[in-house]
Amino acid sequence: MAGARLADGVRGPFHGRMRPCVAVAGPGEASEREVELARQVGVLLARRGAVVVCGGLGGAMEACARGVTSAGGTVVGLLPGRDRAAGNPHLSLAVATGLGELRNGLLVNTCDALVAVGGGWGTLSEVALALRAGKPVALLESWALPDAPSATGGPHGPVEAATPAEAVEAVLPSARVT
Protein backbone atom coordinates (compact mmCIF):
# COMPACT_ATOMS: atom_id res chain seq x y z
CA MET A 1 0.00 0.00 0.00
CA ALA A 2 1.49 3.33 -1.03
CA GLY A 3 1.94 5.90 1.71
CA ALA A 4 1.41 9.63 1.58
CA ARG A 5 4.30 12.08 1.53
CA LEU A 6 5.62 12.48 5.04
CA ALA A 7 8.83 14.48 5.37
CA ASP A 8 11.16 15.15 2.47
CA GLY A 9 10.63 11.91 0.61
CA VAL A 10 10.00 9.60 3.57
CA ARG A 11 7.07 7.37 2.72
CA GLY A 12 5.11 5.09 4.97
CA PRO A 13 2.14 2.73 5.16
CA PHE A 14 -1.33 3.36 6.59
CA HIS A 15 -2.32 6.14 4.20
CA GLY A 16 0.29 8.52 5.56
CA ARG A 17 -0.73 8.31 9.22
CA MET A 18 2.67 6.94 10.21
CA ARG A 19 5.31 9.62 10.57
CA PRO A 20 9.02 8.86 10.75
CA CYS A 21 10.20 8.18 14.28
CA VAL A 22 13.67 9.46 15.16
CA ALA A 23 15.40 8.64 18.43
CA VAL A 24 17.58 11.27 20.04
CA ALA A 25 20.16 9.83 22.42
CA GLY A 26 22.31 11.82 24.80
CA PRO A 27 23.51 12.07 28.38
CA GLY A 28 21.29 12.56 31.38
CA GLU A 29 23.99 14.79 32.83
CA ALA A 30 24.65 17.00 29.82
CA SER A 31 26.89 20.01 29.34
CA GLU A 32 25.34 23.35 28.39
CA ARG A 33 26.52 22.76 24.82
CA GLU A 34 24.94 19.28 24.65
CA VAL A 35 21.70 20.70 26.07
CA GLU A 36 21.57 23.38 23.38
CA LEU A 37 22.44 20.95 20.57
CA ALA A 38 19.78 18.48 21.73
CA ARG A 39 17.17 21.25 21.94
CA GLN A 40 17.97 22.37 18.40
CA VAL A 41 17.77 18.79 17.08
CA GLY A 42 14.34 18.45 18.72
CA VAL A 43 13.07 21.66 17.12
CA LEU A 44 14.31 20.65 13.67
CA LEU A 45 12.86 17.14 13.86
CA ALA A 46 9.47 18.48 14.97
CA ARG A 47 9.43 21.00 12.13
CA ARG A 48 10.10 18.16 9.68
CA GLY A 49 7.15 16.15 11.01
CA ALA A 50 9.06 13.40 12.80
CA VAL A 51 7.89 11.82 16.03
CA VAL A 52 10.81 11.93 18.46
CA VAL A 53 11.57 9.19 20.97
CA CYS A 54 14.09 9.60 23.77
CA GLY A 55 14.99 8.24 27.20
CA GLY A 56 12.53 10.64 28.80
CA LEU A 57 14.62 11.87 31.71
CA GLY A 58 16.82 14.98 32.17
CA GLY A 59 19.84 16.49 30.47
CA ALA A 60 19.96 16.08 26.70
CA MET A 61 16.73 14.06 26.76
CA GLU A 62 14.80 16.87 28.45
CA ALA A 63 16.37 19.51 26.21
CA CYS A 64 15.37 17.58 23.10
CA ALA A 65 11.83 17.13 24.43
CA ARG A 66 11.63 20.85 25.20
CA GLY A 67 12.69 21.63 21.62
CA VAL A 68 10.16 19.24 20.12
CA THR A 69 7.33 20.61 22.25
CA SER A 70 8.24 24.24 21.54
CA ALA A 71 7.93 23.50 17.82
CA GLY A 72 4.55 21.79 18.22
CA GLY A 73 5.83 18.24 17.76
CA THR A 74 5.32 14.90 19.47
CA VAL A 75 7.93 13.38 21.78
CA VAL A 76 7.74 10.01 23.53
CA GLY A 77 9.92 9.21 26.52
CA LEU A 78 10.85 5.60 27.25
CA LEU A 79 11.57 5.69 30.97
CA PRO A 80 13.83 3.16 32.68
CA GLY A 81 11.59 2.74 35.73
CA ARG A 82 7.96 2.02 36.44
CA ASP A 83 6.86 5.55 37.33
CA ARG A 84 5.52 7.68 34.48
CA ALA A 85 5.78 10.74 36.72
CA ALA A 86 9.59 10.42 36.59
CA GLY A 87 9.53 11.67 32.99
CA ASN A 88 10.48 15.21 32.16
CA PRO A 89 7.64 17.75 31.87
CA HIS A 90 8.02 18.25 28.10
CA LEU A 91 7.02 14.74 27.03
CA SER A 92 3.88 14.16 24.96
CA LEU A 93 3.81 10.60 26.30
CA ALA A 94 5.85 8.95 29.05
CA VAL A 95 6.16 5.16 28.82
CA ALA A 96 7.27 3.51 32.07
CA THR A 97 9.14 0.46 30.76
CA GLY A 98 10.55 -0.96 34.00
CA LEU A 99 13.49 -2.15 31.87
CA GLY A 100 16.32 0.01 33.19
CA GLU A 101 19.11 0.31 30.64
CA LEU A 102 17.52 -2.45 28.58
CA ARG A 103 15.11 0.22 27.35
CA ASN A 104 17.88 1.21 24.93
CA GLY A 105 16.94 -1.79 22.80
CA LEU A 106 13.28 -0.78 22.90
CA LEU A 107 14.22 2.76 21.87
CA VAL A 108 16.20 1.48 18.87
CA ASN A 109 13.49 -0.96 17.81
CA THR A 110 10.93 1.85 17.99
CA CYS A 111 12.83 4.35 15.85
CA ASP A 112 13.53 4.58 12.13
CA ALA A 113 16.79 6.52 12.69
CA LEU A 114 18.90 7.85 15.56
CA VAL A 115 20.73 11.08 16.35
CA ALA A 116 23.33 10.91 19.15
CA VAL A 117 24.21 14.18 20.88
CA GLY A 118 27.33 13.88 23.03
CA GLY A 119 26.86 11.00 25.38
CA GLY A 120 28.32 8.33 27.56
CA TRP A 121 28.07 4.56 27.65
CA GLY A 122 24.28 4.51 27.36
CA THR A 123 24.42 6.65 24.24
CA LEU A 124 27.13 4.42 22.79
CA SER A 125 24.97 1.35 23.39
CA GLU A 126 22.07 2.99 21.55
CA VAL A 127 24.36 3.93 18.65
CA ALA A 128 25.72 0.37 18.46
CA LEU A 129 22.25 -1.19 18.52
CA ALA A 130 20.99 1.18 15.82
CA LEU A 131 23.99 0.45 13.59
CA ARG A 132 23.54 -3.27 14.15
CA ALA A 133 19.90 -2.89 13.06
CA GLY A 134 20.99 -1.05 9.90
CA LYS A 135 19.31 2.20 10.89
CA PRO A 136 20.61 5.63 9.88
CA VAL A 137 22.74 7.17 12.65
CA ALA A 138 24.07 10.71 12.97
CA LEU A 139 26.74 11.56 15.55
CA LEU A 140 26.67 15.17 16.76
CA GLU A 141 29.70 15.84 18.97
CA SER A 142 29.35 12.23 20.03
CA TRP A 143 31.42 9.07 19.80
CA ALA A 144 33.98 9.01 16.98
CA LEU A 145 33.30 5.88 14.93
CA PRO A 146 34.82 6.73 11.54
CA ASP A 147 35.11 3.19 10.18
CA ALA A 148 32.02 1.64 11.74
CA PRO A 149 29.76 0.18 9.05
CA SER A 150 26.26 -1.04 9.66
CA ALA A 151 26.64 -4.45 11.28
CA THR A 152 23.88 -5.83 9.05
CA GLY A 153 25.85 -4.98 5.93
CA GLY A 154 23.28 -2.33 5.11
CA PRO A 155 24.10 1.04 3.58
CA HIS A 156 24.12 3.01 6.81
CA GLY A 157 27.29 3.62 8.75
CA PRO A 158 27.33 6.52 11.19
CA VAL A 159 27.48 10.06 9.82
CA GLU A 160 29.49 12.60 11.81
CA ALA A 161 27.46 15.81 11.70
CA ALA A 162 28.86 19.26 12.50
CA THR A 163 25.52 20.95 13.23
CA PRO A 164 22.02 19.95 14.37
CA ALA A 165 20.73 20.66 10.84
CA GLU A 166 23.34 18.32 9.34
CA ALA A 167 22.41 15.61 11.84
CA VAL A 168 18.71 15.83 11.01
CA GLU A 169 19.38 15.94 7.27
CA ALA A 170 21.69 12.93 7.56
CA VAL A 171 19.03 10.68 9.05
CA LEU A 172 15.61 11.93 8.05
CA PRO A 173 15.70 11.44 4.28
CA SER A 174 17.07 7.91 4.87
CA ALA A 175 14.54 6.94 7.54
CA ARG A 176 11.95 4.47 6.36
CA VAL A 177 8.80 3.92 8.32
CA THR A 178 8.64 0.25 9.21
User: What is the tens place of the pLDDT at every residue in 101-116?
Assistant: 999 999 999 999 999 9
Domain spans in the chain, listed from the N-terminal domain onward? 16-171
Quick one: which H or E segment has residue 61? helix 60-70
User: What is the tens place of the pLDDT at every residue in 37-63?
Assistant: 999 999 999 999 999 999 999 999 999
Q: What is the pLDDT of residue 1?
A: 29
Task: Identify the band that residue 95 occupies on the pLDDT scale cut at 50, 70 and 90.
Answer: very high
User: What is the tens place of the pLDDT at every residue in 125-135?
Assistant: 999 999 999 99
> What whole-number distance in Å separates Cα of residue 115 and Cα of residue 156?
13
Q: Which of 4, 29, 21, 6 shows the shortest CA–CA distance to 114?
A: 21
% of the chain exceeding 70 in pLDDT: 81
> What whole-number distance in Å separates Cα of residue 37 and Cα of residue 61?
11
Task: Identify the band that residue 175 occupies on the pLDDT scale cut at 50, 70 and 90.
Answer: low
Asked if pLDDT for residue 96 goes beyond 50, the answer is: yes
Q: Which CATH class is domain 16-171?
A: alpha beta
